[in-house]
Amino acid sequence: MARTLDTTPPAAASRTRRLRPSAGRQHHAGPLTYVLLGLAALVSLFPLYWNLVAASHSGERVVEAPAPLLPGPRLLDNLSFAWNQVDMGEALVNTTIVAGLVSLSTVLFSTLAGFAFAKLPFRGRGALLALVVATMTIPPQLSVIPLYQIITDLGWVDQLQSVVLPSLVAAFGVFFMRQYLIEALPTELVEAARMDGAHSLRIIWHVVFPVARPAMAVLGMLVFVQAWNDFFWPFIALTPDGNPTLQVALAGLGAGNHTVDQAVVLTGALISTLPLLLVFAVLGKHVVGGITAGAVKN
C-alpha cells in the first residue's frame, strides 16, 4: 500500500505540469476565498499577537475589564522580570539542550534505521517495520508510571537526561526517513558502492547522508518543534523549581504558584513561543513541506 502511494505525488505533479493550460481544477481564487482565508489567518495569528500585547502591559492592566488590544510600554520590564525572577533564562537553555540533543540523535538514528528498512534486505524486515509503525499509537500515558519509578530510583528527577533518553529515536522518524530514501536513493548507487568495496559505514557517510540531507533537515525541524513543545512527560520528570524546560516552567507560572502576575505568565508564554515562531517565519516553506510529506505517505 505504501509503495503505490509513494509513486502518486510525482506522477500527479508531472500530470499537473502537462495539463496546466486546460486544467479543470486550478481555479483562480475569488474574493470570497481571500476573505475566508484572511479570516482564518486572523484567527490563527490573533492569539499570538495578543500574547505580545499582554506581555507588554502591567499585571493590573491585563486583568482589567476591556482587555488591551494595543501594545503597552512594559514589555522590557516584564521580560527582564520573567528572565531573572522566574528563571525563564535557565528554562530556555534547558529546552534548547533537550530539543537539540533529541533532534540530533533522532535524525541520526532514524536515518540509519530508515536506510536499513528502505534499502537493505534482511530477515524480518517487513514485520519489524510494521512493529515500528504500530508503536506510534502507544500513548505516553502507558509508560510514565514505570519510567517515573526508574528515574526516581536512579536519582534522575529534575535531571535533563530523564527527558532526553526516552526520546533518542522516534518511530515517526524511522518511518519518515524510510519513505524518503525508498524514492530518493537509487538502489544501484548503494550496490555500486558495495561493488567498489565500500563497507557500510562508508556507504552511510558518502552515499546515504548526502542523499538524505534535505529529509534530515526537515525531520530535524519537526522533531525540534515537538521536543521543544513536549509537555506531559517533562511535566512529570522535571519540577518547576528544579531544572525545568520552558513548558514545565510555564506550567508552574500558570497553575501552581500563587504569584499570579498574568503579564509575567504571558511574557513567559511569549518567550517559549518566539524562538519557534522565528524558525517558522524563516523556514516556513520547508516545515510545511515536511509535515505534508510525513503525513500523506502514511
Partner 1 sequence: MATSVRAAGDGSAPPAAQAPGAGAGPGSHRQRPSGRSAWRSTLYRLDLKAVPYVFIAPFFLTFAAFGLFPLIYTGWLSLHRVELGGSAQWRGMGNYSALATSEFFWNALANTFTIGVISTVPQLLMALCLAHLLNYKLRGRGFFRVAVLAPYATSIAAATLVFAQLFNTDYGLINTVLGWLGFDPVSWESSKWPAQIAISVIVTWRWTGYNALIYLAAMQAVPRDLYEAAALDGASRLRQFLSVTIPSIRPTILFTVVVSTIGATQLFGEPMLFGGSVGISGGSGNQFQTLSLLMYEKGWVTGALGQASAIAWVMLLLLLIIGGIQALISRSNRNRNRNRNRNRNQRTKAGS
Distance between CA 214 and CA 228 in Å, rounded?
A: 21
Q: How far is 7 from 3, CA to CA, in rounded Å?
A: 7
Shortest Cβ 201–partner 1 spacing (Å): 9
The C-alpha cell of 32 is what?
470570497
CA 253/CA 272 separation, integer angstroms: 12
Q: Which is nearer to partner 1, 23 or 213 (CB)?
A: 23
The DSSP string of 138-172 is: S-GGGTHHHHHHHHHHHT-TT-THHHHGGGSS-HH
Nearest distance in Å: CB 134, partner 1: 9
- Report the nearest approach of partner 1 to the CB of residue 95 (Å): 10
Rounded to a whole number of angstroms, the minimum distance from the CB of residue 44 to partner 1 is 5
- What residues contact residue 90 under an 8 Å CB cut-off, 6+ apart? 243, 244
To the nearest whole angstrom, how small is the minimum distance from the Cβ of residue 84 to partner 1?
Answer: 20
Closest distance to partner 1 from the beta carbon of 278 (Å): 9
Q: Are 289 and 278 in contact (CB under 8 A)?
A: no
Q: Which residues contact 69 (CB under 8 A, 6 or more apart)?
A: 50, 53
The three cell numbers locating residue 42: 486572523
124 DSSP 8-state letter: T
Whose Cβ is closer to partner 1: residue 6's or residue 77's?
6
Of residues 76 and 127, the one with the C-beta less far from partner 1: 127
- What is the nearest approach in angstroms of partner 1 to the Cβ of residue 102? 11
Q: Which one, of 207, 132, 211, lies nearest residue 172 by Cα?
A: 132
Nearest to 260, CA basis, from 91, 62, 88, 52: 62
Q: Pick the closer one to partner 1 by CB: 29 or 76.
A: 29
Our CB check for partner 1 shows the closer of 216 and 250 to be: 250
Rounded CA separation 63/54 (Å) = 10
For the CB of residue 253, give the shortest distance to partner 1 in the complex, in Å. Answer: 8
Q: Could you give the CA distance from residue 228 to residue 97 in angstroms, rounded to a whole number?
A: 10
Give residues with Cβ within 8 angstroms of 67, minimum separation 6: 50, 54
